[in-house]
Amino acid sequence: MDRDQHITQDAAEFYAVYLMAKTAEEMGVAILPHSKELWQEFVDYLAIAHRDWAISDFGSRYPAYKANADAQVPAFVQRLAVAFPGSKFAFEVDEARLRNLGKKADFILTIDEPSRTYAVSLKNYVGPGGVKRPQVSSGTFLSFAAGFVFERNGVGTYVDPRTPDTSFKGSNTKDRDAVLAFEGRADLAPLLMKLVDLQQHVRSRLLTLRYYDQAAVKGVVAEIVPQAQDTLLSVFDVLGHDVVRQKFLERANLDGGEDALYFDGLQFADSITNPRFRELYARINDPNTTFKVVKAGQSLRFSFEANGAVVVSADVPLTINTNGAWHRPKPPYQGKQLKVDKGVPVELEWGEIRPRKSKEIATSTNLYLDLAAAGVFGGS
DNA sequence: CTGTCAATAGTGACGTGGTT
DNA sequence: AACCACGTCACTATTGACAG
């Protein structure tokens, strides 16, 4: 994704929240008229130093983000008004603060009566099908496991139970092991260390390649994935079924702690007004619903089932993120090209290793939630 | 040709170690 | 002791590959 698209995407969150407030005002269901302030936040975001975008750039460079918001956001507010008759609403962008707290939400919805707030994750998909199978979390092998073992309170950081109100980084082996020892769970330490070792192995095997070699990467993937699957399943065995289930629900944004507003140009699913989402939450928590984790190809598959049918499932493919280690833009080129590698200009052939960025090769996990199969869109 | 599974590259946060 | 440059880690939405 290029820079313009990234800016458009971030700006689209401000725009969507502005549009919510504007719609609420027009419908007479705004707690306070505050769309002007939200519009200003949107404009400020576009105009921020060294960016200098005009409002028209937002709608022209990657038009789908604005078009999707225009198509879906007013209808969301209308659904709110139906779901909470007589209530009024307010909206605020709070993405950065919430993300740094390890939350997924992008904006806060306030309802006056009954008085409460909702932290909502907004996903505005441009590509086809994304909304049907949203990616709700990602990380490295270690951070994926650590999310089940520890209490997450930020990106890659966790609550340190040894001292109140402090955090530790999951990547810090000394702290990680000390926390586990403190909690009497030292049996988890070698399992987490194994995941660290797999990442070290990936680096030592791939950093020697001057040119990108897909077969070599796939070879290393094939080596590490079965080990990672077994290690993660061992972690889950030690933690126990109930802990894994609860942590999975948190991670998949299915525990009810935060809400969702996912849409593309054609489809939407929001967890606040959609009864199918409510039914999904209810079925997940039904005592007759079972939860399991199994290996499925390169993935771990998490699934809830009732009466022999899948209620909801999620796949977590385990792979390597080469993280831009080799410079191979499209289309390929002949000769050498100047590339700024972590701030340092270097002359590179197509497919040649970037001296600095290559240090960031890492193990990789993504959690894809099969929302379409869960029936929240009205099909299947 | 499409759906499914997998892989990608840029980026922000944070820690660390060097320099004044 | 404060600052800052730099490296590492983790995270996201999108694109790619390939089977059927």
Q: Which helix (H) or strand (E) holds A202?
A: helix A189-206
Query: What stretches of A94-243 adopt beta strand conformation (E)?
Result: 107-111, 116-124, 135-139, 152-154, 157-159, 167-169
Q: Is the CB of A33 under 7 A from strand B?
A: no
Whether A378 is in a domain gets the answer no
Measured CA A236 to C1' B6 distance, in angstroms: 24
Q: Is the CB of A129 under 7 A from strand B?
A: yes
Q: Is the CB of A40 under 7 A from strand B?
A: no
**Integer Cα distance of A198 and A201 in angstroms:** 5
Whether A232 is in a domain gets the answer yes
Note the strand B nucleotides within 7 A of protein beta carbons. Answer: 3-16
Task: Please tell me the predicted confidence (pLDDT) of residue A278.
Answer: 84
The answer to whether residues A117 and A186 belong to one domain is no
Whether A184 is in a domain gets the answer yes
**Integer Cα distance of A144 and A138 in angstroms:** 7
A329 nearest nt, CA–C1': B9
A324 nearest nt, CA–C1': B9
The answer to whether residues A153 and A295 belong to one domain is yes
Q: Is the CB of A219 under 7 A from strand B?
A: no
The answer to whether residues A163 and A302 belong to one domain is yes
Whether A265 is in a domain gets the answer no
Which residues are within 8 A (CB) of A127 and not within 5 positions of it... i.e. 6 or more apart?
A264
Task: Please tell me the predicted confidence (pLDDT) of residue A50.
Answer: 57
The answer to whether residues A157 and A248 belong to one domain is yes
**Integer Cα distance of A30 and A174 in angstroms:** 51
Whether A222 is in a domain gets the answer yes
Q: Is the CB of A5 under 7 A from strand B?
A: no
A297 nearest nt, CA–C1': B5
The answer to whether residues A315 and A188 belong to one domain is yes
Give which of A144, A175, A143, A145 is closest to A161, Cα–Cα: A175
Whether A271 is in a domain gets the answer no
Could you list the residue range(s) of the whole structural domain that residue A351 is in?
A: 326-360
The answer to whether residues A167 and A41 belong to one domain is no
The answer to whether residues A23 and A117 belong to one domain is yes
Q: How many CB atoms lie within 10 A of CB A111?
A: 19
Measured CA A296 to C1' B6 distance, in angstroms: 13
Whether A92 is in a domain gets the answer yes
The answer to whether residues A174 and A81 belong to one domain is no
Q: Is the CB of A292 under 7 A from strand B?
A: no
Task: Please tell me the predicted confidence (pLDDT) of residue A99.
Answer: 65
A147 nearest nt, CA–C1': C10
Domains contained in chain A, number:
3
Task: Please tell me the predicted confidence (pLDDT) of residue A324.
Answer: 85
Mean pLDDT in runs of 10 for chain A (380 residues)? 76 90 96 92 76 78 86 93 95 74 80 91 80 84 91 84 83 89 92 89 86 86 89 92 90 83 84 87 88 88 88 88 85 83 83 86 87 70
Measured CA A366 to C1' C13 distance, in angstroms: 11
The answer to whether residues A304 and A349 belong to one domain is no
Query: What stretches of A171-237 adopt beta strand conformation (E)?
Result: none
Task: Please tell me the predicted confidence (pLDDT) of residue A380.
Answer: 34
Domain boundary among A124, A145, A178: A124
The answer to whether residues A183 and A301 belong to one domain is yes
Task: Please tell me the predicted confidence (pLDDT) of residue A378.
Answer: 57
Measured CA A248 to C1' C7 distance, in angstroms: 31
Whether A261 is in a domain gets the answer no
**Integer Cα distance of A21 and A80 in angstroms:** 12
Measured CA A302 to C1' B11 distance, in angstroms: 29
The answer to whether residues A146 and A294 belong to one domain is yes
The pairing of strands A116-124 and A259-263 is: parallel
The answer to whether residues A106 and A149 belong to one domain is no
Task: Please tell me the predicted confidence (pLDDT) of residue A90.
Answer: 94
With contact defined as beta carbons under 8 Å apart, do A88 and A61 qualify? Answer: no
Q: Which helix (H) or strand (E) holds A38?
A: helix A35-47
